[in-house]
Amino acid sequence: MNSTPEHTHPTPRLLAELAGLLRGAPGSAAPLANTLSVQAMGFATFGRTDALDLFARHPLALSATPHVLIAPDALAVLDVTPEGRHVGVFADLVDGVLARLWVAGPVADDAVAEPAVPVASDDFMTQHRAVCAGDVHDHPRLDAAAWPQVQAAAAEALQTVREPAAASSSQAFVVRAFSSGDAFAALYTLRVLSASVPRHAHRCWALAVCRIGADGALLHRRLAISEPWPVPAPVFF
């Protein structure tokens, strides 16, 4: 377990609680927020009850030695499955309570997106396009020096999922980011737009855990990217 020295005490407890939730353990004593919302396995759930139900149906086991970063209001876990696949887990914390959770990993076979009214949107709002949407200002626990590497990890995540790699209008949105010592974690949602016509879009989640040097140079990067999430059926009135 790679936890930063300043936060070693809460980490084992939180990890045990997180592991219990991910197993969907009935009667879990984990202090879960009543409003716990989860984005995992292709499902979006709301409330503690549905979160436990989701993981009871689709349990996710963490290894004994996941890579962990923690901040007072967030927890990032990057793990490798026995099959060698990277899985990322990111949690919002409120006073040590798991309040919100994302899993960048597999998508369940029975995952179905809720129908939604389609919204036409321009993710770039300029012809001078950037692949990473975000602002370091919105992530007060992130060392500003890490921001270029947050953007670089976004670009790598998109390169991993784009088909084909060139001429895409795909974009990564920085949902959460924080630093812990010389490391940082960043959670992204990726909107992947196909290059061919008709241009279908789908969404993925990605978690990057990186270590940077004093000069801001990248020393190490691990990346977990979800499988494509199911696309909502369009609602037309």
Partner 1 sequence: MTAVLTPAPWNQHPQVRSPAGRAIADLLAQRSRQQPLDGFDPAYADFVDYIVRCTHRIWEEKDIGLCRTHYANDVVMHTLAGPSRGCEAVVQGTLGALAAYADRQVVAEDVIWSEDAPGLFYSSHRITSRSTLEGSDAQYGAANGAAQMATTVADCLVRDNRIVEEWLYRDNARAALQMQHAPRAVALAQAEADRAGDSQRHAWRRQWIDRVRSAVQAWPEAGHPAEGPMRLLQTAWVDDLYGQAAAAVSPSIEVRWPTGRTGWGRGYWIGCLVQLRAQLHDFHFTVEHWAARPLPNDEVAVALRWAACGVHASQGAWGPASGRNILVAGSSHYVLRQGRIVRDQTVFDELAVVRQVLGGLGAVVPGAGGQ
Closest approach of partner 1 to the CB of residue 50, in Å: 7
Closest approach of partner 1 to the CB of residue 187, in Å: 10
Closest approach of partner 1 to the CB of residue 233, in Å: 9
Please give the Cα distance from 137 to 121 (Å, whole number): 24
Q: Which is nearer to partner 1, 53 or 182 (CB)?
A: 53
Phi-psi bin for 96: left (phi > 0), alpha (psi -120 to 50), beta? left
Using an 8 Å Cβ cutoff, are 237 and 179 in contact?
A: no
**Which residues in this chain contact partner 1 in the complex, by CB under 8 A?**
31-35, 44, 46-50, 72-73, 92-95, 97, 99, 114-117, 119-125, 133-135, 137-138, 140, 171, 173-175, 189, 191, 232, 235-237
Please give the Cα distance from 174 to 28 (Å, whole number): 31
Q: Which is nearer to partner 1, 79 or 92 (CB)?
A: 92
Q: Which is nearer to partner 1, 80 or 136 (CB)?
A: 136
Q: Which is nearer to partner 1, 51 or 224 (CB)?
A: 51
Please give the Cα distance from 120 to 6 (Å, whole number): 45
Q: Which is nearer to partner 1, 15 or 93 (CB)?
A: 93
Closest alpha carbon to 231 in 210, 208, 204, 213:
204
Q: What value, to the nearest 5°, has the Cα angle with vertex 36 and ends 158 and 155? A: 10
Closest approach of partner 1 to the CB of residue 4, in Å: 19
Residue 134 φ then ψ, to 5°? 170, 175
Closest approach of partner 1 to the CB of residue 219, in Å: 25
